[in-house]
Structure 1
């Protein structure tokens, strides 16, 4: 599974794609199968919004506590907000946050690796 992420240009907030718009919570993100061309289409659409978001890319997901979480440690931190437990998105709590906090793996997202290779 994959999800599309970016940073909102106006304030730098990490955002996720859901049905044609950007949402702030990872738990609200639209999920794409690995071979689903809709994920690549969403990424292309996001890249055509240079005044809305910066560097949209697909991230790889893994199951954690029955929910999905980014494989990459970096992407889990981005989804949770700052590492200070009293701030950011993780301060809100909930099942999606618990799944993110308990996910395992430190691999890079293939989408991010592809992004790095293009530069």
Structure 2
């Protein structure tokens, strides 16, 4: 599975794509199968929003506690918020998705991020 992520330009907030718009919570993100061409189309649409977001790319997901979570540690941190204290950021909200993010494992880089780095 994959999800689309970026950073909002107005405040730097990590955002995720859902049905043609950006949402702040990973739990609300739209998910695609690895080979779904709609994911590539959404990525292209997101990249066309240069005055709204920056660094648009697809992230790889892994199943964790029956839910989906980013495969890479970096993307899990981005989805949870700052790591300085568990009562700060999105992780402070708690819930099943936050628990799944906190317990997910895998350290591979998301292929979308690797491609983004290669293009710079």
TM-score normalised per structure 1: 0.99
What are the equivalent positions in structure 2 for 1:9-48 lying under 5 Å apart?
Answer: 9-48=9-48
**How far, CA to CA, are the matches of 1:54 and 1:95 in structure 2?**
29
Q: Which residue of 2 aligns with 1:92?
A: 93
Offset of 1:51 from its aligned partner? 0.8
**SS of 2:3 mapped into structure 1:** strand
**How far, CA to CA, are the matches of 2:56 and 2:94 in structure 1?**
25
What are the equivalent positions in structure 2 for 1:40-119 lying under 5 Å apart?
Answer: 40-83=40-83, 84-119=85-120
TM-score normalised per structure 2: 0.98
| Long gaps (5+) in structure 1 | none
**RMSD over equivalenced CA pairs, Å:** 0.5
**How far, CA to CA, are the matches of 1:86 and 1:30 in structure 2?**
26
**SS of 2:5 mapped into structure 1:** strand
Runs of at least 4 residues off by over 3 Å: none
